[in-house]
Amino acid sequence: MLYAVELLNITKRFARTVANDKVTLRVQSGSIHALVGENGAGKTTLMETLYGLYQPDEGTIRIHEKEVSIRSPHDSIRHGIGMVHQHFMLVGPMTVLENIILGAETTRYSLLDFKKTTAEISELAGRFSLTVPLSEKVESIGVGVQQRVEILKAIYRKADILVLDEPTAVLTPQEATQLFRILFELKEEGKTIVLITHKLSEVMAVSDHVSVMRKGKIAGEVETSLTTPEQLAEMMVGRRILLRVEKTEKKSGDPVLAVNKLSCIDKRGVNVLNNISLEVSSGEILGIAGVEGNGQSQLIECITGLLKPTSGSITIDGMQIAGLSPKEVFARGLAHVPEDRIKRGLVVEMDVAENLILGLHMQKEFGSRLSMNRKAIAQNAHLLITKYDIRPMNPEALARGLSGGNQQKVILARELSRNAQIIVASQPTRGVDIGGIEFIHRTLVQARDAGKAILMISADLNEILSLSDRIAVMYGGQIVKVFPDNKVKESELGLYMTGSRGNSAQRASDG
């Protein structure tokens, strides 16, 4: 058996933590090897060490059965390693072509030889069905295309070992399927692929072998055909875990949030919301599925008072809230878990206790205009940290230092402590690990069972399908389809999400 990559007893320490602890990983040549684990398990660190972005403190690296020393990406590229990072390493204002050749340029009379490289790249792109617009600027193309640019970039450098870090995080189901086809083609050509992911369905569908990491160590390695998602999940978390959300039949009551014929034209004159109507009743979760950028963000912003709609109405219990300020909207019984937790959910330079009262700070119990009641704030923090299992269990920890899952728990704890009757949750588990997802999902279902009306927006179809009582699909600023239950196939949702089906606007108020 030939190994393309052997990482032997790799240890990497950062200031106080051990990111990789004597990790050994062997990847067979010409195979697709999945590397799974929760956020912070050390997968990315391990692969960035292989790519030369970090120097291991201990251990050796062997490439094609030969020991090598990789001090920088320059070395790893020389050894035929390519990496597609989770956050794409592309230069936005430069063209696709410039991005692909960057660092591996061909010149003619000291000028860049665009003609020759264009021909070379077009040939490669054709061979692996990686169509990209070479003369477009990277910032003006979609993420799916950007990813193809990243893969081309690696192949152009003659990489025969390709590492992809969470490649499907930003893709639609259709784009993900296309990516997998590309990966299979690359494998056919004899390339070795390491796939970092935490989506177990992908692991099962694509990989030949799986290595599971937990807390910086390898928790197990198996052949994909000999394992199950449940078994992998258990290895990842270290305990049995429920991949399905347990949920009883909904007992929904009266509609509390109603959006009627809502339209919004943005500063550029684009019709970002087009005649949207929907209703959310108490005791139900309405899930809105859709590819990002189809008006979901604007819908949420209109409802929460961050954006003024051009026309239409939004009511809570029949009271008009369209055009009110966020503070006034919240006062009428709405809670908001924003899609971007760093930008809108938290003040990351403040500590957990302070973040737990953001927006509630004007309430009498937490202080007056001139002073804050430190004791009440600490008590509140203590209560919520325990109830929501926020770690570290330190109210004075800066929000910046928390993991994504714990940051999200802080926001959820705060918003649910408002005791609002409506919860608007946008991408509630983005970048959250399996354990955290389980907790957040359970919390949302509990809130629903307690009679809250929940409007959830998510790009993660699994989440939409497992949590929602009803599902609406947004495309091009419209609601193109409403399913009265969650018994719909992922592929069918995908068709509506990409606009291939359902052109006429539908009302989401039936049901």
Partner 1 sequence: MISQIFSLAFLAQTIRITVPYSLASLGGVYSERGGVVNIALEGIILNGAFCATVGTYYTGSPWFGLLCGIAGGLLVAAIHAAISIHVKADQIISGIALNLFAVGITKFVLEILFQSSSNSPRIAGLPYIKLGFIKDQPDVAHLLGNPLVLLTVLIVVASHFIIFKTRFGLRLRSVGENPEAADTVGINVTSYRYYGVLISGVLAGLAGAWLAFDQHSFTDGMSAGRGYIALAAMIVGKWNPLGAAAACLLFGFAESLQIQLQGGTLPTQFIQMIPYLATIVVLAGFIGKSVAPGADGIPYEKEK
Q: Which residues bind partner 1 (CB under 8 A)?
A: 51, 53-54, 72-74, 77, 83, 85, 89-94, 98-99, 101-105, 107, 110-112, 153, 157
Give me the least distance between CB of 215 and partner 1, in Å please: 20
CB of residue 293 vs partner 1: minimum separation in angstroms?
21
With H, G, I as helix, E, B as strand and everything else as coil, classify residue 138. Answer: helix
Give 74 or 181: the residue with its C-beta nearer to partner 1: 74
Which helix H or strand E contains 274, and what residues bound it? strand 271-281
Question: Of 107 and 228, which has the nearer Cβ to partner 1?
Answer: 107
Query: How far apart are the C-alpha atoms of 379 and 357, rounded to whole Å?
Result: 11
Closest distance of CB 148 from partner 1, Å = 16
Smallest CA-to-CA distance from 235 within 382, 97, 376, 34 is with: 34
Q: How far apart are CA 389 and CA 410, in angstroms?
A: 9
Return all residues near 198 (Cβ < 8 A) that are at least 6 apart. 36, 37, 38, 39, 166, 236, 433, 434
User: Closest distance between partner 1 and the C-beta of residue 91, in Å?
Assistant: 5
Measure the CA–CA gap between 303 and 412, rounded to whole angstroms.
18
Which one, of 461, 456, 463, 472, lies nearest residue 494 by Cα? 461
- Distance, in Å, from the CA atom of 12 to the CA atom of 55, rounded to the nearest integer, reads 8
Nearer to partner 1, 31 or 99 (CB): 99
d(CA 27, CA 6): 6
Rank residues 74 and 374 by Cβ distance to partner 1 and give the closer one: 74
- For the bound state, the minimum distance from the C-beta of residue 61 to partner 1, rounded and expressed in Å, comes to 17
Helices (H) and strands (E) in the chain, counts: 16, 22
Q: Which is nearer to partner 1, 52 or 305 (CB)?
A: 52
Q: Which two tokens stand for residue 173?
A: 């189901």
In the complex, what is the shortest distance from the CB of residue 398 to partner 1, in angstroms, rounded to a whole number? 16
**Shorter beta-carbon distance to partner 1: residue 111 or 226:** 111
Best CA proximity match to 403, nearest among 442, 437, 451: 437
At closest approach, how far in Å is the CB of 69 from partner 1? 15
| CB burial of residue 96 (10 Å; 0-12, 13-18, 19+) | buried
Q: Which two tokens stand for residue 330?
A: 């919240």
Closer of 53 and 169 to partner 1 (Cβ)? 53
